[in-house]
Amino acid sequence: MGTAIDKYWETTSLEDMTEKQWEGICDGCAKCCLHKFIDDEEVIEAAPTNHIQQGEKIHYTNIACGLLNTKTCACTQYSERTTLVPECVKLTKDNLQDIFFMPHSCSYRRLYEDRGLPSWHPLLNKGKKSVMHKVGMSVRGKTVADHDVDLELFEDYITLWPMQDLD
């Protein structure tokens, strides 16, 4: 007989979670580590933003942050990531309402939108990412590192797979 899982995410709001619970919600897919661009013809130079205007669209690329270990789908410098990569956004309880830049499959976004955790989430699979990788919900095997491409040519790397969501 298996051990019962503490499904704290079903009884505790994101705002009320402990730091450990909050970190546990991350499914580890690493889609947040992909370069994203907002289609806006009026902008001359690309810059980070914390909002999206009506009519704008986010384009995901298969270009991953150079700090990402694409096999484990984990940041190699997690605790220093926002210092080393200033445009890296640390998702917190305070900026959760600005979640527009996260893919629809993001577990934080899913809970924020009352959609529950997906069946492939590590919390529902004995803490393992293998199901997530198997069903193609992580970046594993699908990316190029940002230091290996010319970011001015980002349009050549736009892709749709990061927007896919299962269940």
pLDDT, tens digit, for every residue of 66-115?
A: 999 999 999 999 999 999 999 898 899 998 888 888 999 999 999 999 99
Residue whose pair of structure tokens reads 């205007």 in the numeric block = 53
Q: Is pLDDT of 42 > 70?
A: no
- pLDDT for the residue numbered 5: 74
Entry pTM? 0.88
- pLDDT for the residue numbered 43: 60
Q: Band of the pLDDT at 53, cuts 50, 70, 90?
A: confident
- pLDDT for the residue numbered 46: 60
How many C-beta atoms lie closer than 10 Å to residue 18's C-beta? 10
Long-range contacts of 36-42 (CB under 8 A, 24+ apart): 36/60, 36/61, 36/101, 37/61, 37/154, 37/158
Average pLDDT over residues 25-44: 86
8 Å CB contact between 89 and 101: yes
Q: Is pLDDT of 2 > 60?
A: no
8 Å CB contact between 93 and 108: no
- For the chain, the average pLDDT equals 90
What single DSSP character describes residue 142?
S
Q: Is pLDDT of 4 > 80?
A: no
Average pLDDT over residues 20-38: 95
Average pLDDT over residues 115-143: 97
8 Å CB contact between 33 and 65: yes
Q: Is pLDDT of 1 > 60?
A: no
- pLDDT for the residue numbered 74: 96
Average pLDDT over residues 36-44: 72
Residue whose pair of structure tokens reads 């939108």 in the numeric block = 113
In degrees rounded to 5, what are phi and psi of residue 154? -55, -30
Which has the closest alpha carbon to 137: 15, 63, 31? 31
